[in-house]
Amino acid sequence: MTTSTSPEDLLLDRALAGDESAFVELVDLYHAPLLRFARTFVRQPAQAEDVVQDAWVGVLRGLERFERRSSFKTWLFRIVANRARTRAVREQRYVQFEVNDDGSDASGNFTPEGKLKAPPREWQMTPERLLLSVETRALVDKALEQLPDNQRIVVTLRDIEGLDAADVCNVLGITETNQRVLLHRGRTRVRAALASALE
């Protein structure tokens, strides 16, 4: 096996070797992002905490079976997604990841083929500048809350947690096309909500 060099891989190597402090460091590193992700499936903080705690128990029991075919982060998010889906189904809050058969879009911004009818308006400020402000972050959070569940989950994974498209598809078990459409629609709605609030 090739020697790992990234900080995550080194922590993982130590945890696999039985170093409990390394596992605690992994929990410290990923707990908050996993909790944010779980909240995209279940809205109550206590339920999200239960999902993440359950996922960590699963990770602890199955760590030696992690084969590193994906990143550890992707593997963690996949476990949380599975646990959260189960929990959401129990609470009848789960929405399937699918695009309408006819390609229709409630906002009217897309053609039946899923293409944007008109390009979005240019912002006067860069997204990086906007995200520095607390008020804007609150607007983003509010806009995310307004998204349909499937769009909110994809946007959260891509734009907040920083997963790439392939990892998002892996975590959620969706196609690249579905991921791209959900991301585009979610980003468009968030952008429209921000533009409206900032005018």
35: in domain: yes
96 HSE (CA, 13 A, CB side): 3
DSSP secondary structure, 37-100, as one string = HHTTT--SHHHHHHHHHHHHHHHHHHGGG---SS-HHHHHHHHHHHHHHHHHHHTT--------
* DSSP 8-class letter at 173: T
Token pair for 159: 């734009």
Token pair for 36: 């944010």
CA separation for the pair 131, 194 (Å, rounded): 11
Phi first, then psi, for residue 156 (nearest 5°) are -60, -45
Q: Which are the contacts of 81, defined by CB distance < 8 A and separation ≥ 6? A: 37, 41, 171, 172, 173
pTM: 0.60
Residue 9 pLDDT grade (very low, low, confident, very high; cuts 50, 70, 90): confident
Same domain, 102 and 198: yes
Residue with token string 């499937």: 150
> Which CATH number do you get for residue 158?
1.10.10.10
With 70 as the cut, is the pLDDT of residue 186 above it? yes
Same domain, 65 and 159: no
Token pair for 118: 């008109």
CA separation for the pair 112, 63 (Å, rounded): 44
Kindly report the average pLDDT of the chain as a whole number.
80
Domain interval for residue 60: 7-90
Same domain, 86 and 101: no
Residue with token string 């997204």: 127
Overall average pLDDT of the 175-193 stretch: 90
Same domain, 123 and 42: no
Least confident of 1-10, 39-48, 79-88: 1-10
Overall average pLDDT of the 104-128 stretch: 59
> Which CATH number do you get for residue 77?
1.10.1740.10
Phi first, then psi, for residue 155 (nearest 5°) are -60, -40
Measured CA angle at 172 (ends 48, 190), to 5 deg: 75
Q: How many domains does the chain have?
A: 2
